[in-house]
Amino acid sequence: MITSNEINELATALCKAQGEISNPAKNAKNPHFKSNYADLGGVLDTVRPIFSSVGLSVVQFPHSLDNGNIAVTTRLMHTSGQWLEDVIDIPLQGNNLAQAAGSIITYLRRYSLAAVAGIHQADADAQEIQGSVQTMRPITSSQAHALIALAEEVGADMEKFCAYLKVDSISRLSQSNFEQAKASLEAKRKQAAA
C-alpha cells in the first residue's frame, strides 16, 4: 500500500465512515453455486453515500501487469488531498479472455472496495477463487524452461502443444496444469524410446 505523506484526516474520516457502514444486502445470485452475494453495485450503493458524507471518495483503475495478470488499483481519497491506494491482481486465463478479464475486474473492484470500507464479503464465488488462486498462478520460469526442454527433446510442435494446453505460450500455463503437461511430454518420450 502507498499513501500520501499524511493520512490523519483521511484516517479520521474513514473511522467515521466505517462506524456507519453495514454489510450490504446480498442482492445477486450465483447460479453456479446457488448462493446469494452482494454484487459490485450493492457494495457501491452502500459505501458511496457514507463516504461522500465524510469527504471520502474512491476511484478504481483496471490495468494489466507485465506478467499478464489483470490488476485493479483502488485509491481512497479525502477532500484534504490525502489518499491511500493499493493494487490487487489475478492471472488472466480461459478460452474467452475478454469475458474472463471483465469478470476478474469486477471481482477485484468489489473485493478491494469492500476491504477499504471494512465490509465483509462471504460468498461461494469468493471461496472458489480463494481456493483456486494457487491453481491459477502461472508456472515458474524454471518449470517453463523444463517443459520447453522436454518438448524439444521429444520433438513436440510447441504451437500444437500450447493449443492442446489451451494457452498462448508455455509461460502462461497454470500451476494446476503443469503436472498434466509434464506427464504428457514424458509419455511421448516413453513412446519414442519404445
Please write the tens of the pLDDT for every residue from 149-171: 888 888 888 888 888 887 777 87
pTM over 0.75: no
Which one, of 139, 127, 151, 146, lies nearest residue 176 by Cα?
139
Average pLDDT of the chain is 81
Q: Are residues 56 and 150 in the same domain?
A: no
Q: Are residues 99 and 119 in the same domain?
A: yes
Q: Are residues 68 and 109 in the same domain?
A: yes
Q: In terms of residues, how long is the chain? A: 194
The backbone torsions φ and ψ at residue 55, rounded to the nearest 5 degrees and listed phi first, read 85, 25
Give the pLDDT band of residue 24 (cuts 50, 70, 90).
low
Domain boundary pick from 136, 160, 180: 136
Which one, of 54, 27, 31, lies nearest residue 40 by Cα?
27
On whether residue 193 sits in a domain, the answer given is: no
The secondary structure of residue 172, as a DSSP letter, is G
Q: Are residues 93 and 49 in the same domain?
A: yes
Please write the tens of the pLDDT for every residue from 57-99: 999 999 988 888 899 999 999 999 999 999 999 888 777 788 8
Is residue 55 left, alpha or beta, with left meaning phi > 0 and alpha meaning psi from -120 to 50? left
Tell whether the model's pLDDT for residue 123 goes beyond 60.
no
Q: What is the mean pLDDT of residues 133-151?
A: 75
Give the total number of structural domains in the chain.
2
